[in-house]
Amino acid sequence: MKAAVFKGKESVVIEEGFEKPIIEPDEVLIRVKKVGICGSDVGSYESGGPYLPEKVIGHEFSGDIVEIGEKVKKIKLGMRVTVNPQIPCYECYYCLHDLENMCKLQNYSYGTTEHGAMREFFNVKAERIHILPDNVSYEEGATVEPLSVAVYAVEQSGFQLGQSAAVIGAGPIGLMIIQVLRAAGASKIYVLEPVESKQKIALDLGADKVFLPKNWNKIGRLTEKLGPNHVYDCVGLSETFSSALKLVRKGGKITLIGMHASTFELNSILLMTTNNISVRGVYGYNHDIFKTAINLFDQKKIKIDSLITSRIKLDQVPEMFKILGNPPHDELKVIVEFD
């Protein structure tokens, strides 16, 4: 069978001749249906890492169970599933405290350090599986992983019913955070986004008002000069973090979801002290968050149709990485289809 393989900086290729995997007793075999291309896939394509070379990419996906290892219980042939791609050690302090996203093996996962799902058949430890209810489509199943990032960010920020929020950046994660905030009972949601097509989608998905990033101060006027309770930075640039500090209400909370460079200059940092601002970074999700994300799809609280800008075949993946790795472009979530 064919697979999309990460080779290193600016190189994702389709390779033939992959054997259909033989499963271990604690594994299942999945016939892959849909795979999403993630921002982190593109990040590794652009920079050359942290993904390992020669590994099959793909960690956001859905499919059907076609083989079950002899030690596996509660999973039946034909079940429609998605997978939590993190591979925790189960032994470290964090794993023992339900924080597998903080595991000492952090970043160890299917599609990055182990072969992922951009191939016809994918073998995985059965306990990483999440079953999709009938009401949840394969496409939704393939976006449970990024939705989990959004759910975790909102949960960890301590967002409360009736509070207001600003979301910086209307990429796939920002557009999911908008919908999670709606589902969580936000009073007002403001969005900062430079691209017009993304502004429009943000409004369709529940944002109250969208602004160009340079007009961040207009949000102050709409909130009785207080600013929103929460700001979610889904971009991760020095400018967006500085805007968040100026924008958020005194005593408010900033949640950083975008991957930030390890060093950058920060304006307005004094406000963190003088305005009692809390800043929180979030990374990944845990097993329960995955379930919450699936429930949100099951209850039709999250729409992904307008987020999916392209549906492609496996052979088109290398071409698509050239587009995604050379912004600006109009793509949001790209889905690779296997049926």
Interaction of residue 103 with Zn ion, rule CB under 5 A: yes
Interaction of residue 95 with Zn ion, rule CB under 5 A: yes
**Residue span binding Zn ion (CB under 5 A) among the ranges 14-22, 58-66, 194-202, 278-286:** 58-66
The nearest distance, CB 94 to Zn ion, in angstroms, is 5
The nearest distance, CB 143 to Zn ion, in angstroms, is 9
The nearest distance, CB 144 to Zn ion, in angstroms, is 10
Distance CA 121, CA 143 (A): 19
Strand, coil or helix: 222? helix
Interaction of residue 173 with Zn ion, rule CB under 5 A: no
Interaction of residue 153 with Zn ion, rule CB under 5 A: no
Which of these, 339, 337, 334, lies nearest to 41 by C-alpha position? Answer: 334
Interaction of residue 203 with Zn ion, rule CB under 5 A: no
Among 14, 66, 75, 92, binds Zn ion (CB under 5 A): 92
The nearest distance, CB 219 to Zn ion, in angstroms, is 29
Interaction of residue 42 with Zn ion, rule CB under 5 A: no
Interaction of residue 38 with Zn ion, rule CB under 5 A: yes
Interaction of residue 304 with Zn ion, rule CB under 5 A: no
Residues 6+ apart with CB under 8 A from 17: none
Please, which residue, 60 or 193, has the CB nearer to Zn ion? Answer: 60
Which of these, 84, 227, 209, 104, lies nearest to 163 by C-alpha position? Answer: 227
Interaction of residue 150 with Zn ion, rule CB under 5 A: no
Residue pair 198/176 in contact (Cβ under 8 Å)? The answer is: no
**Residue span binding Zn ion (CB under 5 A) among the ranges 81-89, 135-143, 192-200, 285-293:** 81-89
**Residue span binding Zn ion (CB under 5 A) among the ranges 14-22, 84-92, 161-169, 233-241:** 84-92
- DSSP label of 167: E
Interaction of residue 89 with Zn ion, rule CB under 5 A: yes
**Partners of 230 in beta bridges:** 165, 253
Could you tell me whether strands 308-312 and 333-337 are parallel, antiparallel, or unpaired per DSSP bridges?
parallel
The nearest distance, CB 169 to Zn ion, in angstroms, is 16
Distance CA 35, CA 54 (A): 18
Distance CA 69, CA 338 (A): 24
Distance CA 19, CA 16 (A): 9
- DSSP label of 157: T
- Contact set with Zn ion (CB under 5 A): 38, 60, 88-89, 92, 95, 103
